[in-house]
Structure 1
């Protein structure tokens, strides 16, 4: 028996793990989760998972019963992003399983480790269009790292062990385990493998010495280098190594949206976010750099604008990524390093020296002073940018902030200067409305002593607002900041700029009274319509030791700038309405 297993036995409220004991598939599953050190499970019961939920009765696990399966998987995702541990979610067959699909795709796009457990009808009913039958493994093959359909209860321990291994090694991602009801009820002697051996899956983390030498040589002679730090910095836990590397080499750092927090936003070498709504300085740095060092970044279309030949036209591209398939996929790459960024930076740090980059840094600072993020301030009208500045100022940049997708997401990226990794939790690749609020619940459960703010739009909030019940039930002290412009803001902005002000189906003026909605669930609700009211009600929200929903009524016609229109290049930035 391994030390890990021995240590887990006998804890308060935890069933003993006895090898060889005859257990049902449902009981086996829970013993496996114990041995994987799972504490929280997010889920929603139903017929096909009743054996599992019966075994959960009175168990050690803390189960969070959300009010929709999409809320469950987004909460599990938020928990995973906030901790780096795999999130675990359970749903029943058919609609329960298919309600997870958006959350699974969200996690896959952003490389988030999840283990998704679904029930299915008994195997003798598979293929008969039985009640609540769905081929969820087939449905999720394109959006998971791997999917399992369990045919024999004796295979279940191996499958669970493999699922956690696959989800958390290499490039993280979601893994699905589909368990038919007859397998949950079947019995077998309990066992659990201590090691994993999967033919064809070797998730090597460490780059070769040759690749690291090429990486170091490529940046040694650079005069205008810049680091493009992506979400891989956060996944690998490489934020300290990045800070040490940037300071030793004197190379400025651009953070992709998914990489925000991986390098302190207040650091003198921080240039902010690049791309469609990035800073002027970050985009100019990419246009004028002679060496771009991509660390765990995908070079996606929100940065390159799909114009990959015109992206960083003066630079040699150096790309470090744990997924070899990403190397050279989107942009022509001079140096490719297959390995996680933490190991790469650890091996490179002793070999690098300061670049001759001071003139370059001076130029970048000049651009920062000339072209900061800006908006037209108004003492009477509440501007959304001012709300984000308020949140940042009153939390000193120390909060965990979750968002949906849209204008508010970009304002958070621009005006909240994240100091720490795993402080921004947002749907980057898939752009999922309804993600931010339940993700905040997962993050708050993971970090009960930290301030967690869900910054959401009035559109996205209504997609998962039923999870207010969780805030009330567990007194989870999430602060929900609704940036309420009474419309689908980003869609309105595009219709204004590119469709001659033909506003089609973006009106949300008939949304509910969010203060009353919060109060109906037993949650404190507040509203602000002016800058002074915003100061007052937000201070009250922070003083309150429980959950709070704040309805910030902001200017409807405010746009996100800077902006690079789709199909344009980074030098074609629109800095504002003027």
Structure 2
């Protein structure tokens, strides 16, 4: 236990020493990312097809601009979002790591936009979570809320799939129906676009989709076999059980 006030003061001093409260803080952050064992070197210039999750997030954050706020749902995409997104303000990023489950981030994104409709909220979610809680998009439609749903669509529960492979050396078919989320969104009166390749998520595309008041959707068909090694809950379970990593 520690005194919260004393801890906060010390934390502020450390932040100042590391320049974390200055506009140049992103440089220190980029250096830390590049030294991370979870990182894909040159991720911002990755041209592989289909688009890799880390490149999709880089393109997305570049396209929406610095005022956009991000919320990530629970799933494999969450690990990439935690590592590759850069937030420069306290309320710039949200995630439900407590009792949050798949789909919780979708309603959270709508709620954030309802609280402050002057700024775009980007909801990073998977196709599984969207199948569970995607009807929340109707709230955004009704209230004309600026929510951009970035659906990482790989047609399976990817975190579970990779977790089983790593933990047991095998996996069940954790596949889900392949949903055309462009058609799904348009059926709700929401403009949408499918993304397959690097460079397709641009400021011009986001501006076009968000031109009229209300939500929009990106159906991102990414490479489901790309993952961040060492960053998931399976690794934590293996460490606690003394088994170590298998790959």
More strand by share: 1
Report the equivalent of 1:438. Answer: 107
Cα drift, residue 499 of structure 1: 2.1
Task: Give, in whole Å, the separation in 1 of the partners of 2:198 and 2:26.
Answer: 30
Task: Give, in whole Å, the separation in 1 of the partners of 2:73 and 2:138.
Answer: 19
Cα drift, residue 395 of structure 1: 3.5
**Counterparts in 2 of 1:573 and 1:400: CA distance versus 1, 3 Å:** farther
Are positions 1:468 and 2:137 aligned together? Answer: yes
TM-score, structure 2 as length reference: 0.79
Matches within 5 A, 1:147-226: 211=3
- Structure of higher RCO (CA pairs closer than 8 Å, 6+ residues apart): 2
Q: Which runs of 5+ in 1 are unaligned?
A: 1-206, 217-237, 254-262, 273-364
Max Rg structure: 1
**Counterparts in 2 of 1:426 and 1:212: CA distance versus 1, 3 Å:** closer
Report the equivalent of 1:36. Answer: none
Question: 1:463-520 CA distances to partner (integer Å, 9 max, x unpaired)?
Answer: 1111222122222121100011111111111122222232x24101x24321111111
Report the equivalent of 2:174. Answer: 506
Task: Give, in whole Å, the separation in 2 of the partners of 1:573 and 1:395.
Answer: 39
Let me know the Cα RMSD of the aligned residues. Answer: 3.5
**Counterparts in 2 of 1:394 and 1:534: CA distance versus 1, 3 Å:** closer
Report the equivalent of 1:410. Answer: 79
TM-score, structure 1 as length reference: 0.36
Report the equivalent of 2:229. Answer: 561
User: How many residues get paired?
Assistant: 236
Task: Give, in whole Å, the separation in 2 of the partners of 1:264 and 1:488.
Answer: 39
Aligned counterpart in structure 1 of residue 40 of structure 2, from 357, 369, 374: 374
Report the equivalent of 1:495. Answer: 164
Contact 1:537 1:550 in 2 (8 A): no
Contact 2:60 2:201 in 1 (8 A): no
**Counterparts in 2 of 1:573 and 1:212: CA distance versus 1, 3 Å:** same
Q: Which runs of 5+ in 2 are unaligned?
A: none
Task: Give, in whole Å, the separation in 2 of the partners of 1:265 and 1:457.
Answer: 32
Are positions 1:552 and 2:223 aligned together? Answer: no
SS at match of 1:449: coil
Are positions 1:518 and 2:189 aligned together? Answer: no
Task: Give, in whole Å, the separation in 2 of the partners of 1:378 and 1:573.
Answer: 33
Cα drift, residue 246 of structure 1: 2.5
